[in-house]
Structure 1
Amino acid sequence: MAALVATEAAALPGPAEAAEPAEAAELSRALSRLLPGLEADSKLSRRRALEALQRALETARPEAPAADPAAFQGPWARLLLPRLLRCLADPAEGCRALAAHLLDLGLRRAARPRDALPRLLPALAARLAGPDPAHRPPPEPCEELRLALVQLLRVAVDLGGAALAPHLDDAVRALRCALLDPFAAVRRESCECAAGLARATPDHFHMQSESLIGPLMQSISHQHWKVRVAVIEATGTVIQFGNGKSVDDVLPHFAQRLFDDVPQVRQAVTRVVGGWLLALRDRYSFFHKLIPLLLSSLDDEMPHIAQEAASLWAEAGLQWQKENEEDLKDKLDFASPPPAHHPSPETRPGLGCRELVFRNLSKILPAICHDITDWVAGTRVKAARLLAVLLLHAEDHATQHLEALLRTLLLACADEEGAVVSSCTRSAELIGTFVSPEVFLKLLWPMLKKSPSASGLLVLAAVIRGCPREALQPHLKAITTELAGAHIRQGSENLRYGEKLLQCVQALVSTCGEDGRGCGLQLMQVLVTVMALPGAPGLGNQLQETEAALAAVESSGDGQDLYRQHVGPLLEWLGGSQRGWTAHSPELLQFSVLVAHAGPALGEALPQLVPVLRSCLQPDRDPQMRLRLLSVLSRALLSAKETVDSQGQLHRYLDTVVTDILVPNLQWRAGRTAAAIRTAAVSCLWALISSEVLSATQVEDVRETLLPPVLTALEEDSQMTRLTSCRIVSAFLKSSGGASEPDKFIKIYPELLKRLDDVSTEVRLAAASALAVWLECIRNDGAEACYQRDVQHLYKELLVYLDDPDSAVQDAVLEVLQAGSVLFPDLLVRETEAVVHKHRSPTRCEQLLQHVQARPAAP
Structure 2
Amino acid sequence: MKDLNATISGTLQTCNSVVIATSAMAAAEQGDEHAAAEVLQAVARHLNCLSDENKSVRKRALEGIRREVVERGLPGGVLQLLLSSLLKPVLRSLLDPMERCRELATEVLRHFIRSAHRPEEVLPYLLPALVQRLGGPEIVEPAEEVRLALLELVTLTVEVCGKKLSPYLDDMVRILQRGIVDPFPDVKKESCRCAASYAECIPEHFHMQSESLIKPLMQTISHQHSRVRVAVIMATGTVIQCGSGKSVDDVISHLAQRLFDDAPQVRQAVTNVVGSWLLKLRDRYSYFHKLIPLLLSSLNDEIPEIRHLALDYWSRVGLQWQQENEDDLKDKLDFLVSPVPHYPVGVDRPNLGCRELVFRNLSKILPAISRDITDWVAGTRIKSSQLLGVFLLHAEDHITQHMELLLSTLYRACSDEDLQVVQNCLKSAELIGTFVSPEVFLKLILTSLQKAPSPTHLMVLASVIKGCPGSLLAPHRPTLADALAHPDVCQASEKLAFLEQLLSCVQTLVTQCGTDVGEISLQLLKVLLTIQALTSDPQLNDKVVEVQGLLSRLQGLNGLADLYRRHMAELMAWLSVGHQRWTSYSVERLQFETLLLQSGPVIGEALDLMMPILTDCLHPSKDPEMRLKLFTVVSKLLLKAGDTLNSQGRLADHLEAFLTDAVLPNLLWHAGRTAAAIRTVAISCLWALLHSEVLSPAQLLFVRKDLMAQVVAALDEDSKMTRQMACQIIGSILLLCTDQLDAETLNTVYPELLKRLDDASDDVRGAAAQALTTWFQRVPPDYDRTTYRGHLEFLYRGLLVHLDDPDSNIQMAILGVLKAGSAICPSLLEKEVEVVREKHRTPWFCDELLQHIQTLDGSST
| Range class of TM-score, shorter chain | over 0.9
Summarize the alignment of residues 64-463 of structure 1 with structure 2, pairs less than 5 Å apart.
Answer: 66-75=73-82, 77-131=83-137, 137-335=138-336, 337-344=338-345, 347-463=348-464
The separation in 2 between residues aligned to 1:18 and 1:468, in whole angstroms, is 89
1:804 and 2:805 aligned: yes
Offset at residue 435 of structure 1 (A): 0.7
**Other-structure match for 2:545:** 544
Residues 338 and 348, structure 1, Cα contact 8 Å, conserved in 2: no
**Other-structure match for 1:54:** 66
Offset at residue 128 of structure 1 (A): 1.5
Offset at residue 777 of structure 1 (A): 0.7
Q: Percent identity?
A: 53
The separation in 2 between residues aligned to 1:102 and 1:571, in whole angstroms, is 102
Change (3 A) 1:174 1:113: same
Offset at residue 345 of structure 1 (A): 5.8
Residues 529 and 591, structure 2, Cα contact 8 Å, conserved in 1: yes
Residues 655 and 695, structure 2, Cα contact 8 Å, conserved in 1: no
Secondary structure at 1:532 match in 2 = helix
**Other-structure match for 2:57:** 45
Offset at residue 469 of structure 1 (A): 0.9
The separation in 2 between residues aligned to 1:780 and 1:564, in whole angstroms, is 51
The separation in 1 between residues aligned to 2:725 and 2:610, in whole angstroms, is 26
Deviates more, 1:793-802 or 1:111-120: 111-120
- List gaps (5 residues or longer) in structure 1: 1-16, 61-65, 132-136
The separation in 2 between residues aligned to 1:117 and 1:150, in whole angstroms, is 15
Residues 719 and 760, structure 1, Cα contact 8 Å, conserved in 2: yes
Deviates more, 1:344-353 or 1:720-729: 344-353
**Other-structure match for 1:35:** 47
Amino acid in the other structure paired with 2:197: G
Summarize the alignment of residues 353-752 of structure 1 with structure 2, pairs less than 5 Å apart.
Answer: 353-738=354-739, 740-752=741-753
Change (3 A) 1:504 1:780: farther
Residues 531 and 537, structure 1, Cα contact 8 Å, conserved in 2: no
Secondary structure at 1:838 match in 2 = coil
Offset at residue 785 of structure 1 (A): 5.7
Residues 220 and 232, structure 2, Cα contact 8 Å, conserved in 1: yes
Change (3 A) 1:110 1:584: same
Matched residues, number = 832
Residues 43 and 64, structure 2, Cα contact 8 Å, conserved in 1: no
Amino acid in the other structure paired with 2:564: Y
Residues 210 and 240, structure 2, Cα contact 8 Å, conserved in 1: yes
Residues 33 and 81, structure 2, Cα contact 8 Å, conserved in 1: no
The separation in 1 between residues aligned to 2:589 and 2:678, in whole angstroms, is 17
- List per-residue Cα deviations over 1:593-642 (Å, max 9, x = no partner): 22222211211221221111111111111111111211122212221111
Change (3 A) 1:404 1:38: same
TM-score normalized by the length of structure 1: 0.94
Residues 178 and 187, structure 1, Cα contact 8 Å, conserved in 2: yes
Offset at residue 279 of structure 1 (A): 1.6
The separation in 2 between residues aligned to 1:542 and 1:57, in whole angstroms, is 88
The separation in 2 between residues aligned to 1:27 and 1:506, in whole angstroms, is 93
Secondary structure at 1:21 match in 2 = helix
Deviates more, 1:364-373 or 1:663-672: 364-373
Amino acid in the other structure paired with 1:648: G
Residues 127 and 139, structure 1, Cα contact 8 Å, conserved in 2: yes
Residues 739 and 777, structure 1, Cα contact 8 Å, conserved in 2: no
Deviates more, 1:465-474 or 1:737-746: 737-746
Secondary structure at 2:779 match in 1 = helix
Offset at residue 146 of structure 1 (A): 1.4
Secondary structure at 1:569 match in 2 = helix
Change (3 A) 1:320 1:725: same
Amino acid in the other structure paired with 1:71: V
Residues 528 and 544, structure 2, Cα contact 8 Å, conserved in 1: yes
TM-score normalized by the length of structure 2: 0.94
**Other-structure match for 1:847:** 848
The separation in 2 between residues aligned to 1:608 and 1:720, in whole angstroms, is 32
Secondary structure at 2:799 match in 1 = helix
Residues 530 and 591, structure 2, Cα contact 8 Å, conserved in 1: yes
Offset at residue 662 of structure 1 (A): 0.4
Amino acid in the other structure paired with 1:745: L
Amino acid in the other structure paired with 1:710: V
Summarize the alignment of residues 715-794 of structure 1 with structure 2, pairs less than 5 Å apart.
Answer: 715-738=716-739, 740-778=741-779, 787-794=788-795
Change (3 A) 1:328 1:210: same
The separation in 1 between residues aligned to 2:635 and 2:542, in whole angstroms, is 26
Offset at residue 788 of structure 1 (A): 4.0
- List per-residue Cα deviations over 1:441-479 (Å, max 9, x = no partner): 222222222222211111111111111111111111111
Residues 338 and 345, structure 1, Cα contact 8 Å, conserved in 2: no
**Other-structure match for 1:3:** none
The separation in 1 between residues aligned to 2:597 and 2:87, in whole angstroms, is 100
Change (3 A) 1:24 1:535: farther
Amino acid in the other structure paired with 1:21: E
Change (3 A) 1:337 1:791: farther
Residues 70 and 108, structure 2, Cα contact 8 Å, conserved in 1: no
Amino acid in the other structure paired with 1:108: R
Offset at residue 711 of structure 1 (A): 1.0
Amino acid in the other structure paired with 1:98: L
Secondary structure at 2:811 match in 1 = helix
The separation in 2 between residues aligned to 1:55 and 1:710, in whole angstroms, is 125
- List per-residue Cα deviations over 1:475-525 (Å, max 9, x = no partner): 111111122122222222322122111111112111122333111111112
Residues 700 and 735, structure 1, Cα contact 8 Å, conserved in 2: no
- List gaps (5 residues or longer) in structure 2: 1-28
